[in-house]
Structure 1
Amino acid sequence: MVCRIFQPLISFIYGLVIGGVSRKSYIQMMEHEALDAQKAGRIRVVVQDNGPIHICQDVQQLWTKWERMGLYVFFLPKYCSEMNPIELEWQHLKKDELSGQVFNDELELAYAVINGVEARGERGNYSTQRIKFNSSLIG
């Protein structure tokens, strides 16, 4: 599973978690984004769907903290993934970078995703950054 933050024509920040994103890994990524917003002194808005991890009680309790740090969460209407530009980027990644490949395991797929994101960033002239989670903190 991939946590991702996409700023069209600017950057693609993502965290790659083999096996799925947990509430803890999502919170860790959002904490990272909140700290970056605070350090930059600029408001950052994350657009996302209404996935269970995005709206769980543990996360809701952090919204006020994140807003004080300059990170705001904007939710798309339900069932409107076409309004989220990351979905189009993800579609292109699958169609242009991963299509036709067969992967022996999740690790091989993970490396292909990393290489695909970097290749798209180079071609699109935008930066890519992979957030590396401390696996001992994720569960």
Structure 2
Amino acid sequence: MLELAAATGEIYLKYLDESGFSLWAEPLYTWAKIGKQKRIEQPKKKGRRLNICGLLEPGKSFEYGLALKSFKSEDYIKLMDWQASIAEERLKKTGKITVIVQDGGSVHVSKLTKTNHERWSAQGLYIFLLPSYSPELNRIENEWQRIKEDELAGPYV
């Protein structure tokens, strides 16, 4: 129903999720051109991991926050405050709310986070929590997979 409402222009719809990236990657299953083999050159040390909290508005935008540490509730709240200010401007201009679809990760449902929901709703930002174990319903998951398998997996040899 949310995707239909977004497609008909009744709401703005975004998908949120966190993922981690590093210069060192596990070999993944991927496709390659016939006669070519995918080659992954990487350092022996794994190095630091870059964590990203992304927001995908299909066909319109991809926004994100970066951290060299795990995202905590305070980080998530700052990101959502930013999104709430964007939602508030959109609500004033168009009368349309913004809905963010996300999983029930610990920072998304913490007590500290929940204290902000009413304020965000007043700004026109609503949170839709997906059922447990349903990543296929979060459209940003496909983007993480595409980036890791196609963009970061290394060149063809």
TM-score, length-scaled by structure 2: 0.62
State the one-letter code of the partner of 1:99.
A
SS at match of 1:89: helix
Instruction: Kindly tell me the number of residue pairs found equivalent between the two proteins.
Output: 101
The aligned residue for residue 109 of structure 1 is: none
CA distance in 2, matches of 1:10, 1:71: 17
Unaligned residue ranges in structure 2 (runs of 5+) = 1-50
The aligned residue for residue 73 of structure 1 is: 127
- Percent identity over paired residues: 39
Bigger Cα Rg: 2
Larger RCO, structures 1/2 (Cα 8 Å, 6+ apart): 1
* Corresponding residue to 2:76 among 17, 21, 26: 26
- List aligned pairs for 1:67-106, cutoff 5 A: 67-100=121-154
CA distance in 1, matches of 2:83, 2:107: 16
Indicate the RMSD between aligned Cα atoms, in angstroms: 1.2
- List aligned pairs for 1:1-139, cutoff 5 A: 1-41=51-91, 42-100=96-154
CA distance in 1, matches of 2:61, 2:100: 13
CA distance in 2, matches of 1:32, 1:60: 16
SS at match of 2:69: coil
CA distance in 2, matches of 1:91, 1:80: 15
